[in-house]
Copies of this chain bind each other. A is one copy, B any other.
Amino acid sequence: MSATPTQALPRERDPKVARRAALLAAAREVFTVRGYHDAKVDDIVAAANVAKGTFYLYFEDKRSVFAELVDQVVAQLTAAIVRVDVDADIEDQVRRNIRGVIGVLRDDPLVVRLLLSYAPGLDPAFESHLRAFYDGVKRLLEASLLEGQALGIVARGDVRIFAAFTIGGLKELLLDASRAEAGAAYESPALEEAVLRLLEGMYLIVGRPVRP
């Protein structure tokens, strides 16, 4: 927009940062394709074109790279979700949130599988990490729903159930979408519309006067 010297894609100058990023990218690729346990550190360093020891210069251990990757996506998602302001246009904001989440996953379909791999029980080591995220989102949603109920724009009912069902449904839907080869219905705009409809059906009262 102006003559700022910043590069469009600031192709990292600092070689240390670049290395770290390369390893992270390689890890994401490998973890996504192979799964956490099948992904060997050897695979990651091979993909990053780096020696094995280098890996440990940038990361504590195998587990911490995975954790960092998860955090990355979590951060992106968190950034995409905004607390619904009841004084503004509700539907628009909900739509925006849905679109945001879909968008993040669309941009980085590989990590979807990683993130959606909640896998409770399969690996206790990551339960806490992933659960923390889901719990956060769930709480955010619950709070919004409660507020909405007070304002009469969310149907009565147990918000925990609403929240859990919503999040679960979205997860499955997006997982499906990340796998679907074609599927016009899984095109972003259609998906967004369909999800909105579902939420409306379930509990969301939009497009109606706030007043009874």
Contact = CB atoms under 8 A, between A and B. Distances in A.
Contacts of A172: 164-165, 167-169, 171
A104 interface: no
B168 A124 contact: no
Interface in A16-55: 31-38
Total identical chains: 4
Contacts of A158: 185, 190, 194
The bracket for how many chain A residues form the interface is 35 or more
A166 B164 contact: no
A176 interface: yes
A95 interface: no
A149 interface: no
A198 interface: yes
B120 A116 contact: yes
Nearest to A197: B157
